[in-house]
Structure 1
Amino acid sequence: MGKPDADGPGLPDLPPEWGRVVVPDDASALAAEAERLRRELRGAPHRTAPRPPARSPLALPGLVLLVAVLTTLAGLAAVTWPRSGRSTPAPSPSAAPPPAATGRPLPALDLVDAGQSPVPLRGLVPAMIVLVDGCACPDEVAAAAALAPSGVTVVTVAGTAPVAPGAAGAGVRSLADPAGGLRAFLHLPARPGAATALLVDRAGVLVKVVPEIRSAEDYRADLARLAG
């Protein structure tokens, strides 16, 4: 049997609200009570609601900054990403002659004939000079020769070598400009399939440039005035 703690010598004073405490002689008498306490202790965490993790005060500003950076990168990628199937066509060279070319005297150039002998360009005026370095264009040359008035020379100027005799037509002077001096003077590149015409008066002044001869009407009136 247990006995009250108040009767036992040497026990400390206990709070009066605990009431009467009995200490058993056999510790096994407390086994059931101990097991009940252990069950309560094991179940205590499950009855306690977990506290939500504290949210950092920098979380929301950081998220906003991340979204802004991703949006900026997406915009840059859309602008700089190469688009397949779309290409900018290369601009074709202008067929219009530089305005400064007309009204200027021909340069003091020497062309060459079939024997590679020099021929002064200014010694051929008045003349219609047809540049055939982009196209032999025999029909256009023949039409010019037929329309040229008396005293006006029709000259074909090829690139490296004069047009073969007879190919340019009767009464046409065939020369070459290996150095490309006339094209450099005009700042007008040769175009494949097209011939360029220069009409020069008796004073050696360039009165008209036809970048691409399409018909005799491009130069007919000016050619007739060269004989005056």
Structure 2
Amino acid sequence: MGKPDAEGHGPPDGLPDLPPEWGRVVVPDDASALAEEARQLRRELRRSRRQASWHGRLDRTRRPDGLPSLGLPVLILLVAVLTTLGGLAAVTWPRSSRSGGSPTVVPYPAATPAQVGPLPALDLVDAGDSPVPLRALLPAVILLVDACACPDRVAEAVTAAPPGVTVVTVTEGRAVRPAPSTGAPVRALADPAGGLRAYLHLPARPGAATVLLVDRDSTLVRVVPVLNSIEEYRPDLARLAG
């Protein structure tokens, strides 16, 4: 049986001698006093089991010659490649449009309704580079001919314009395009700053003229962005002379 220590304490009756390096061993009367030590011991046991589990998995990936197996790295690489291909397919896969696959066609602006607004106070220039206030020529049929000389459209305007209505041709830039011979006076002007088209937000369309009908009060009665025939604005000419 155990021998008592220097203080007269010895191992409990019925227990063998304990190793001296353990020091003094005290067994408490209340087992709850050992709860903290029990928790630490359980944590150590769980950590040991996890480490043993991972070691076992790694051992299974090793080849008989002791080198690591390529199975796990290849599996990880395969999953990464499949994930990347799936993302690329989702981005590049063609989608059918709700309109049945037909493209959306935005038509060129049609003639604007009457009373769209006042004509801005612009000064254009004539062939001699002299300024000409545009409002001084009202009422007027103004043809923007920077993208098309359109002599037929100018001749139609001269023929149909009521008495007292000026027919004006305007080109963008400082070069004045001479008006076609129509037998009636036509004021040919240039718009160096492009103020008219900028105000109307109407870019020039090759091969077509734009027509503005402006009354004596500077009101834009009609705007035809792409002129095909005088019939598009003939009914409004009578309003200019009023």
**TM-score category by the smaller chain?**
0.5 to 0.7
Look up the SS of the partner of 1:133 in the other structure: coil
> TM-score with structure 1 length normalisation?
0.62
Structure 2 residue identity aligned to 1:56 = T
> What 5-or-longer segments of structure 1 have no aligned partner?
1-53, 82-90
* Distance in structure 1 (CA, Å) of the matches to 2:163 and 2:129: 27
Alignment partner for residue 73 of structure 1, among 70, 84, 87? 84
Matches within 5 A, 1:18-167: 55-56=60-61, 63-77=74-88, 95-96=108-109, 103-160=116-173, 161-167=175-181
In structure 2, the CA distance between the partners of 1:179 and 1:215, relative to structure 1 (3 Å rule), is: same
Q: Which residue of 1 aligns with 2:209?
A: 195
> What 5-or-longer segments of structure 2 have no aligned partner?
1-58, 63-68, 93-103
CA-to-partner distance for each residue in 1:93-113, whole Å, 9 max, x for gaps?
A: 963279799522111110111
Look up the SS of the partner of 1:226 in the other structure: helix
Report how many residues are paired. Answer: 167
Alignment partner for residue 218 of structure 1, among 232, 235, 242? 232
Q: Say which one has the larger Rg.
A: 1
- TM-superposed deviation, 1:222: 1.2
* Distance in structure 2 (CA, Å) of the matches to 1:102 and 1:78: 53
In structure 2, the CA distance between the partners of 1:193 and 1:99, relative to structure 1 (3 Å rule), is: closer
CA-to-partner distance for each residue in 1:172-201, whole Å, 9 max, x for gaps?
A: 111111111111111111111111001111
2:223 counterpart of 1:209: yes
Structure 1 residue identity aligned to 2:229 = S
- TM-superposed deviation, 1:152: 1.0
Structure 2 residue identity aligned to 1:177 = D
> TM-score with structure 2 length normalisation?
0.59
Look up the SS of the partner of 1:156 in the other structure: strand
In structure 2, the CA distance between the partners of 1:166 and 1:213, relative to structure 1 (3 Å rule), is: closer
CA contact (8 A) 1:130 1:195 kept: yes
CA contact (8 A) 2:125 2:190 kept: yes
CA contact (8 A) 2:169 2:179 kept: no
Over the aligned positions, Cα root-mean-square deviation in angstroms equals 3.3
CA contact (8 A) 1:141 1:169 kept: no
* Distance in structure 2 (CA, Å) of the matches to 1:225 and 1:62: 85
In structure 2, the CA distance between the partners of 1:120 and 1:101, relative to structure 1 (3 Å rule), is: farther
